[in-house]
Structure 1
Amino acid sequence: MLTPLLLFCVFPAWSKQHTALNVQLDAQEYSYQVTGYLDDCTCDVETIRDFNNRKLFPKIQELLESDYFRYYKVNLKKPCPFWSDNSYCGLKDCAVKPCEPNEIPAGIRSESFKYTKESNVISQYERECEKAEKLGAVNNSLSEETKQAVLDWTRHDDSTDNFCEVDDEHCPDAEYVDLLLNPERYTGYKGPEAWKIWNSIYEENCFKPNSIRRPFNPLLPGRDDEGGTFYSWLQGLCLEKRSFYRAISGLHTSINIHLSARYLLQDTWYERKWGHNITEFKQRFDAQITKGEGPHRLRNLYFLYLVELRALSKVLPFFERSTFQLYTGNNTLDTKNKKLLLEILNLAKSFPFPFDEHSLFAGEKKEAENLKEDFRLHFKNISRIMDCVGCFKCRLWGKLQTQGLGTALKILFSEKQINSLPDSGPSQRFHLKRQDIVALLNAFGRISTSIRELQNFRELLETVQ
């Protein structure tokens, strides 16, 4: 949803929380910073900032540079499922360069190898499943153990805990992309198609009442049908719908920070220079320029950080098992990177003020289940919108980050399944594919980087005042 979803970056459409907020302004330079506690959380901005910048950020960046996490398989050729316009961005920075087969580590490109030892058993199931006329068929040639595995995996694939529409990795159009060589940054993608993406996300998928009309001009105050402020409806939403909106807004914020931090500053025949664009940053987040909206956008970034951090802490048991490997074919580095991953997850678990996912969907059982299903379907719809993005680099990072957030949501609502994982053997009730793992860590890495970049922008703003 959003990444240098640039497109997301070029045309912001934001939310505003009515919350106690300390915004420090300089009358001339419009500098600022957000402080204090976050709504719907028990944590303050300062604690998150210090924890991320001093402890977690360096480790997550080191991990994401490893071969296991830098290669992501994606299908950028899927048609848009919602409208027929197939126009694409013709700018050179919109392009994505896929990897050649020989550039992918052997352990990753091997079609037959799954990333854990336990999947040797799963692969056997899959081979036997091919004997059945269809996946759900119970063929007499299958063992009892395999029959049960087939049914379990069918239920897993249809699970209501899957929040994303993910690519078929075996599709001929799916290609590996080196994320380090195709970074999220400014591409110049803008126009009606970019507007259409954001409009579809906010207008159709964020639980916005019909009486609310979102203005396309972000500098103009919106109004509801009763003449109130555009954002006054948000506090009237239930916690679940409010959290959904804040997560989308937080992701939108993160994308805009990346756009501003990796902006094309100079483009000549002999040099292309990327760097921090203070003007762009202030245009999106300065309190006076945005009429007070910028700090609210930033607070939603910190909210999203807590959500994804909590998911990392809860999924620790899945990765702690001796059967799990970050397999690339280089045993020395694979062992080192698993150790680093566990350090990161244990660090996430040590955070003293985690997001409380138990407060979500905690009402009357049937009503809570219906709300969770709406929540899941809305987010899944957003993940499908990513195939409508005309800029391929924006599409790449949008698909990755939505899959990452979707995986985080799946983890948050799979506590019982995670806690009941076997020490060895197939984990049939809870399972993450390599693509899920790569997306989960890279998506959190984007949020972590955004919070670190805020410090860079604060320091840059101080030097120009």
Structure 2
Amino acid sequence: MRLVYMCMFMLAVNHLTAGVKVKNGSQKFSGNKDDKCFCKLKGEVDDCSCKVETIDSVNNQKIYPRLKSLVSRDYFRYFKVNLAKECPFWSDDSRCALKDCHVDTCAEHEVPPALKTNGNGNGKENKYTEKAQEVHSCAEERELSALDTTISDESKEAFKNWTEHDESQDLFCDIDDENSSGLEYVDLSLNPERYTGYKGASPHRIWRTIYEENCFKPQSKYGYGPNSKLAKKPYEDMCLEKRAFYRMVSGLHTSINVHLCAEYLFPSIGYGDSQWGPNLEEFKQRFDPQTSDGEGPQRLKNLYFAYLVELRALAKAAPYLLEEEFFTGNDEEDKETKQGVADLLTVIKSFNDHFDESKLFAGEPTEARKLKEEFRMHFRNISRIMDCVGCDKCRLWGKLQIQGMGTALKILFSGDTIGPQSTVNASSKRNFQLTRSEIVSLFNAFGRLSTSIHTLEVFRKKLQ
């Protein structure tokens, strides 16, 4: 009987201490059933040697605060973009049904005259003129996803000098929209990336088209849960280049979803105002293995892969970027921006476990060239799909982040050599050049990834 009681006592102790890990003399809870979203966020990032814990520390303590300050500078917060391009893949029959998904045209006098005439003085109307829009009452406009097109008179005047300065540069190439008459400046600080109410068939079609038709993807499902050890490992049927492509796209998609969960609009209670804030239930819905076909935790880890790719691009382009003027016409502002960039790049260059791009396209030369071209064309198609996004604010951030990632790839595979120690610099401007738009998108896109990783700590603490 004593033996029976002893067994029962031991079973009870084992049950109570399940999930408790003893390390260095302390007890740490590791089995929280609500913490399943983060079960893969530890150890080495796939196809890299850098660890998640290292990235969390460097990003959250050093890179994120510097980037947050830097992208608020005038040079980086004004992004020139064409939001009027037609979707090249299907008719535009799925625009966001909310009035707030359209550009706010109520304060038309605030729009620069050049935009009202398509930027070339020919007097043709574009979609931002009052006549081209459905009539909406300003009083009915809500905050969700309407683009704030407010530009100060001082900024409008400065843009003229910016344009003259840019046109005097020996540009490497014309990026998407560079010569488009539909280009306009958007103040990113007035149009933050957050939940807009854009959901349903339209955004689902965007991502389905990206993954099914324009993205390398795993051919087999992989298990998650009790029998996962018997299941095929993710991506093992793909070559390194295709895995890298998929992880970058998945990482970008994850970053966007993290921002939507972190900046979610909660409806007002009673007579109070609606509030923006982190939505834990939405986060769990997107990343818990049980509600994401087991893929949510892996998607979070892909965020770190995308982060490492763009981090390496900034490190490689550091010598080039340190020679940039970051011209806005305000000498003091330009000086502080240059100092901020130099400070950030010092931290990035000191990171000693960068992504190694030389491992990509390193096979048989003919096959490598073919794969690289396929890689490039897939990415180009994804950038064009962004013109099919039905919400203007979502389209703005989608185009910016895809362009930023494309700029990172351009940097990684430019220059005389590639690999962890290679760089591009200002002395080789004949062979390598970044436009203002590419630089702005590169820093802001990396800023979005950095913010996402910083935000994960908020959700991790809430889950614990």
TM-score normalised by length of structure 2? 0.76
1:203 paired with 2:208, answer no
Structure-2 change in CA distance of 1:86 and 1:76 (3 Å): farther
Q: For 1:79, which of 79, 86, 90 is the aligned residue?
A: 86
- CA offset digits 1:54-85 (Å, max 9, x no partner): 11100000001111111111111100011113
Structure-2 change in CA distance of 1:192 and 1:319 (3 Å): same
1:114 paired with 2:165, answer yes
Aligned to 2:185: 176
Structure-2 change in CA distance of 1:291 and 1:416 (3 Å): same
CA distance in 2, matches of 1:73, 1:100: 13
For 1:31-180, list aligned pairs within 5 A.
Answer: 32-33=38-39, 34-91=41-98, 92=100, 93-100=144-151, 102=153, 104=155, 106-110=157-161, 112-115=163-166, 120=168, 122=170, 156-157=172-173, 166-168=176-178, 170-180=179-189
Aligned to 2:385: 385
Aligned to 2:463: 461
- CA offset digits 1:173-222 (Å, max 9, x no partner): 2211111110000011112211211111000111247x6699xxxx9xxx
Aligned to 1:125: none
- In the TM superposition, residue 121 of structure 1 has moved relative to its aligned partner by 6.3
Structure-2 change in CA distance of 1:455 and 1:320 (3 Å): same
Q: For 2:276, which of 269, 274, 277 is the aligned residue?
A: 274
- In the TM superposition, residue 100 of structure 1 has moved relative to its aligned partner by 3.6
In the alignment, is the contact (CA less than 8 A) between 1:32 and 1:287 conserved in 2?
A: no
Aligned to 1:150: none
In the alignment, is the contact (CA less than 8 A) between 1:79 and 1:388 conserved in 2?
A: yes
Runs of 4+ with deviation above 6 angstroms: 211-214
Structure-2 change in CA distance of 1:416 and 1:346 (3 Å): farther
CA distance in 1, matches of 2:426, 2:234: 45
- CA offset digits 1:291-322 (Å, max 9, x no partner): 5422111110011111000000000111222x
- In the TM superposition, residue 267 of structure 1 has moved relative to its aligned partner by 4.1
1:405 paired with 2:405, answer yes
In the alignment, is the contact (CA less than 8 A) between 1:106 and 1:329 conserved in 2?
A: no
Aligned to 1:27: 33
- In the TM superposition, residue 101 of structure 1 has moved relative to its aligned partner by 6.5
- CA offset digits 1:139-187 (Å, max 9, x no partner): xxxxxxxxxxxxxx6xx538xxxxxx6223x533221111111000001
CA distance in 1, matches of 2:177, 2:314: 23
Unmatched 5+ stretches in structure 2: 1-28, 101-143, 225-229
Aligned to 1:15: none
- In the TM superposition, residue 113 of structure 1 has moved relative to its aligned partner by 2.3
The amino acid that maps onto 2:176 is V
CA distance in 1, matches of 2:38, 2:206: 30
- In the TM superposition, residue 248 of structure 1 has moved relative to its aligned partner by 0.5
Structure-2 change in CA distance of 1:99 and 1:433 (3 Å): farther
Structure-2 change in CA distance of 1:180 and 1:100 (3 Å): closer
- CA offset digits 1:221-255 (Å, max 9, x no partner): xxxxxxx97x7572111100000000000011101
Q: For 1:185, which of 183, 191, 194 is the aligned residue?
A: 194
In the alignment, is the contact (CA less than 8 A) between 1:108 and 1:327 conserved in 2?
A: no
The amino acid that maps onto 2:183 is A
Aligned to 1:301: 303
1:242 paired with 2:249, answer no
Structure-2 change in CA distance of 1:83 and 1:43 (3 Å): same
Aligned to 2:429: 427
In the alignment, is the contact (CA less than 8 A) between 1:88 and 1:391 conserved in 2?
A: yes
- CA offset digits 1:322-359 (Å, max 9, x no partner): xx211111101111111110111221111111000000
Structure-2 change in CA distance of 1:96 and 1:62 (3 Å): same
CA distance in 2, matches of 1:320, 1:348: 13
Aligned to 1:256: 257
- In the TM superposition, residue 270 of structure 1 has moved relative to its aligned partner by 5.4
SS in 2 for 1:363: coil
Structure-2 change in CA distance of 1:57 and 1:233 (3 Å): closer
- In the TM superposition, residue 289 of structure 1 has moved relative to its aligned partner by 4.0
Structure-2 change in CA distance of 1:29 and 1:194 (3 Å): same
Aligned to 1:222: none
CA distance in 1, matches of 2:211, 2:169: 43
Percent identity (aligned): 51
Structure-2 change in CA distance of 1:201 and 1:25 (3 Å): farther
1:452 paired with 2:454, answer yes
CA distance in 1, matches of 2:380, 2:165: 25
In the alignment, is the contact (CA less than 8 A) between 1:79 and 1:86 conserved in 2?
A: no
CA distance in 2, matches of 1:368, 1:104: 46
CA distance in 2, matches of 1:58, 1:50: 12
Structure-2 change in CA distance of 1:28 and 1:71 (3 Å): closer
CA distance in 2, matches of 1:245, 1:292: 17
The amino acid that maps onto 1:204 is E
CA distance in 2, matches of 1:166, 1:296: 32
In the alignment, is the contact (CA less than 8 A) between 1:52 and 1:448 conserved in 2?
A: yes
CA-based RMSD: 2.7
SS in 1 for 2:190: coil
- In the TM superposition, residue 26 of structure 1 has moved relative to its aligned partner by 1.5
CA distance in 2, matches of 1:39, 1:167: 35
- In the TM superposition, residue 377 of structure 1 has moved relative to its aligned partner by 0.7
Unmatched 5+ stretches in structure 1: 1-22, 123-152, 159-164, 220-227
SS in 2 for 1:157: coil
The amino acid that maps onto 2:165 is K
In the alignment, is the contact (CA less than 8 A) between 1:80 and 1:86 conserved in 2?
A: no
In the alignment, is the contact (CA less than 8 A) between 1:26 and 1:32 conserved in 2?
A: no
SS in 1 for 2:267: strand
The alignment of Structure 1 onto Structure 2 pairs a total of residues equal to 380
In the alignment, is the contact (CA less than 8 A) between 2:261 and 2:278 conserved in 1?
A: yes
Q: Which has the higher contact order (CA 8 A, sep 6+)?
A: 1
In the alignment, is the contact (CA less than 8 A) between 1:105 and 1:329 conserved in 2?
A: no
- In the TM superposition, residue 86 of structure 1 has moved relative to its aligned partner by 4.0
Q: Which has the larger radius of gyration?
A: 2
- CA offset digits 1:406-461 (Å, max 9, x no partner): 000000001328857454xx822111111101100000000000000001111222
